[in-house]
Amino acid sequence: MTNFDIFMTLIHNSGDTNIKTDLVNVLTLFLPTFEITFLPQHFGIQLHSSKLDTILIVNDINFESFRQAINDVSAISHAGQENSTYNPKNKKAAEIAAKLLAGRSKA
């Protein structure tokens, strides 16, 4: 069973609606201006724009790339590494990075 299969099983077959809500909330943290739609074999991430509507279909073929992008953005893949650093792009990102580093030093 792949990571995509597990993810989609949690979305569609979990008796606990909190799991689906939590997964959608996590995706919304990374994609706040996008609409996320779940279908049986994939999920769609849609951006509505005045110039163009863009839809990204995430399926079993590209899920690992999507997952890796989320890991890269969130620095999950570097968590716990002594030499991991953040490269904040703006003031708010720098504040978040400082809080993450402070929390990491307490752990």
The whole-chain average pLDDT of the chain stands at 81
1: its two tokens: 């069973």
Higher-pLDDT residue of 49, 79: 49
Which residue pairs from 4-13 have beta carbons closer than 8 angstroms and sit at least 24 positions apart in sequence? 4/59, 4/60, 4/63, 4/64, 5/60, 7/63, 8/38, 8/40, 8/41, 8/43, 11/38, 11/43, 12/38, 12/40
Q: Per-residue pLDDT averaged across 48-71, rounded? A: 87
CB-based burial of residue 52 (10 Å sphere; 0-12 exposed, 13-18 middle, 19+ buried)?
exposed
Q: What percent of the chain has pLDDT over 90?
A: 26
- pLDDT digit string, tens, across residues 28-43: 888 888 889 999 999 9
- Residue 93's pLDDT band (boundaries 50, 70, 90)? confident
Tell whether the model's pLDDT for residue 84 goes beyond 60.
no
Domain ranges for the chain: 3-106
